């Protein structure tokens, strides 16, 4: 049986076990997970939070990370401004980015997710610029795709939390916590 680790990656943590990028030490997975032989199935940017899956099974890792399998990845996204139906429809139809059209996404406005932890550092607050939350599910994984998609429809991302990958969620996991499953 394969090992599968569900990890709630905190803001500022790299999606790798070592950091070779210079003199400034940055937080990595090894600061939170001490299980030999598991590797991330996909990535989350340093400035993104939420569900990261790790496994010791190469086939499972490929099924999770490879866009050919179209495993939905669902994000709760705090965006600048208040997207109207036209902006959400554009996300649903696919957005033109500099590397081509995205696949259609599931997109809808939501309330701030219940049980969402405070971010450290906090998201900047501006009295004159409203913000809101959307739920966005994509089935591909281009570099910084969600951030580029929301910016393309006029609503830059302020906070990005991956909540679900396929049937796995981060429900019940605080930032920095993980849970192991056998699959």
Fold match, 1-69+171-183 / 72-165: yes
* Mean pLDDT value of segment 144-159: 97
CA geometry: angle at 138 spanning 3 and 78, to 5°? 100
Q: Determine the number of helices (DSSP H) and then strands (DSSP E) in the chain.
A: 3, 11
Catalytic site residues? 45
> pLDDT tens across 58-67, in order?
999 999 988 7
Contact 52, 9 (CB under 8 A): yes
Domain boundaries, the chain: 1-69+171-183, 72-165
Q: Of 49, 52, 151, which is closest to residue 97 (Cα–Cα)?
A: 151
Q: What long-range pairs does 117-120 form, CB within 8 A, spacing at least 24? A: 117/174, 117/175, 119/11, 119/49, 119/159, 120/11
- Percent of the chain surpassing pLDDT 70: 99
> For residue 56, how many other CB atoms are within 10 A of its CB?
16
- Residues 142 and 138: their CA atoms lie apart, in Å, by 10
Query: Which CATH architecture describes the domain 72-165?
Result: 2-Layer Sandwich (3.30)
Q: Of 88, 51, 77, which is closest to residue 160 (Cα–Cα)?
A: 77
Task: Please state, rounded to an integer, the average pLDDT across all residues of the chain.
Answer: 93
> pLDDT tens across 91-104, in order?
999 999 999 999 99
Out of 3.50.30.10, 2.60.120.10, 3.30.70.580, 3.40.50.720, which CATH number does the structure's domain 1-69+171-183 have? Answer: 3.30.70.580
């Amino acid at each position: 049986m394969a090992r599968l680790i569900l990890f709630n990656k905190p803001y500022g943590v790299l999606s790798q076990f070592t950091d070779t990028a210079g003199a400034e030490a940055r937080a990595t997975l090894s600061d939170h997970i001490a299980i030999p032989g598991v590797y991330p199935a996909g990535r989350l940017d340093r400035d993104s939070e939420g569900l990261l899956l790790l496994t010791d099974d190469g086939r499972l890792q490929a099924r999770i990370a490879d866009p050919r399998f179209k495993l939905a990845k669902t994000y709760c996204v705090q965006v600048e401004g208040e997207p109207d139906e036209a902006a959400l429809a554009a996300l649903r139809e696919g957005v033109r980015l500099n590397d081509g059209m995205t696949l259609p996404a599931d997109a809808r406005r939501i309330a701030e997710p219940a049980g969402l932890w405070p971010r450290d550092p906090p998201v900047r607050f501006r009295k004159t610029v409203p913000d809101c939350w959307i739920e966005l599910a994509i089935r591909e994984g281009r570099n910084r795709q969600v951030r580029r998609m929301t910016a393309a429809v006029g609503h830059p991302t302020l906070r990005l939390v991956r909540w679900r990958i396929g049937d796995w969620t981060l429900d019940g996991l605080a930032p920095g916590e993980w849970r192991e499953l056998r699959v």
